[in-house]
Structure formats: structure tokens, C-alpha cells
Structure 1
Amino acid sequence: YIIYLANKQNKRIRYDRTVLHFSLIALVLTLVQIGMGTQVRQFVDEQIDIFGYDAKSLWLKNPEVLFYIHRSFSIIVLLINVYLVYRITKLNLGHFKIYWVLFLLVVEVITGIAMNYLDFPFASQPLHLVLASILFGVQFYILLDALKPRKNIKTS
């Protein structure tokens, strides 16, 4: 929010009610996804305590149902944001940070897949967590932009 307030750059952001509503939905779904991810992380930590750090292939051997919900819910989060990219681009609304959201989501999915199928490669867990936090921040910024579009002010 502070970065948003401090950004004095002139923007050409156009208002669209659908983008506003879907930005809010995307933000809430991302927050839910992050919440579920913390529970999955707690499960993995418990598995580490049971099997040890060297048995990475066993950490998700028999995951709880929340793992599957977290994994599948990511598709919904991705699709909502792909729709936002489509609408913002189609209507030329000026929310260029949406491309950052899409990039972050793709890397999030890749790190999630890597943790599951490649047995938690080095730095995949912290990268997954940090990217989720950045993703939430960028989505919040887009929501703020969508709430109060700014117009270019001509200086004389």
C-alpha cells in the first residue's frame, strides 16, 4: 500500500467493474491458497520429523486431502488470473502489473510441481513461499489500481 501511495508515476488506468470484481476474487482466492499452503507446509514439517531430512521422497508419500485441494485449487487461481490478463489486455485497461502476476503464478506452479515430483529440490520451499507473498502484494496493488483509476494529468 505504501508503494502504491508513493508511486507518483502518471498512469493510464481505465476503470472496468469486471476487472475490479475479479481482482478482488483473485486476491481472496490467493489468500485462501496461501492459507492452505501453510497447512501443507505444516504437514511436510511433521513428515520431516518422522522420516528425517534425508528421506525427501517420503514427505508427500501419503499426503492429507488438503494437499490435493491445495494442488487443484491452484488451477482455479491460475484460471481467474488468466481471465484477468485476457480482459485487461483486450480492453487495454493499463494494468500492466497483471503480467507480473501471470509470471509469478507460473513460477509458483513450477516450484510446487518440483516439490511434489522432484522431492523438494534445493530452495524450492522458500522460493515457493516468497513468490506467494510477492504475488499477493502485486495482486493487491492491481486491486488498488482498479479501485481508483488515475488519469494522465497534462502539465502545461
Structure 2
Amino acid sequence: MTRHGANPRPPHGEDADLLLLDQQICFSLNAASRAFGGVYRTALKDLGLTYPQYLVMLVLWEDGALPVKQLGERLRLDSGTLSPLLKRLEAAGLVTRERSPEDERSVIVDATAAGRELREGALAVPRRILAAAGLPLDDLRALRGLLDRVTANLDAAAGA
């Protein structure tokens, strides 16, 4: 039995750093995500939106009305997460959910007039996030490209 903080076997060779917390990309990504979350919470407060609600509104502003299934695919959210989120947005008067006339099994989500008006106030959010990140726009775009590649690779690995 080892004392707290004691290392039972010091790592050797080129794998020595692989298990150090500071070497874990997943930890860095999680820490960055939590930091972004804090900035978004502040930036979205005046809009009365949470970060996941903001993402839903971004997609609806960009694409218009969508079936719940497509919205979930676009946001990478399952229906168990998306449904309560949409219910809260509907209760706030920002979206509508209606059965598709072509397919009763499909529910179409659309921004209401109030939801579309919210877009104007949301224009300040990306500017606040860019300023808080403290990096040039080109660096942030490059980072986004790398993260998209990592995500695609991880999705492929998980599906294999």
C-alpha cells in the first residue's frame, strides 16, 4: 500500500509522459470547453439563453425550420437531451414544434417571431467570445479546422 502522493512505480522510457495529466489532450479540451462555457454564460445572460439553447437558435437562424431529427444530428444531440431543451425554448416563446403534414412521426421546429428577433441581440455574442479568447481570428479558424479533423477521426475510430 502506498501513501497518498507516493508513486508505486516511476514510469520509464518514452512512454513516461503518456499518463501525465498535462499531456492529456482530452483534459485540455475539457478545460477549454468549461472556460468557454463560463464566458458564454455571461454573454448569453442578457438574451435569456443557455449555451445549448443558443446552439439550437443558431441552427434555426441559419437553416430555418427543421425536423427534430435533423436538428439533433446537426447539433450532435440525442432526442433525450434535445426534447427538454426544445420544450423550454417553446415555453419561452422562441420556437414552435409542430407535426409535419407529410409525416406525422416527424416534428418540425421553427423559430417564432420573438426567436428571430433575438438574433439581432445575439450578434454581439461571437464578438465577446473572440475578445475573451484573446487569439487572432485566423488562429481561431485554424483551431476550429483542427478540432473538426480530430472530431471526424474520433468518430471514425469509434465507429470502427
Q: TM-score scaled to structure 1, two decimals?
A: 0.28
Query: Which structure features the higher share of helix residues?
Result: 1
Larger Rg: 2
Query: Which structure features the higher share of strand residues?
Result: 2
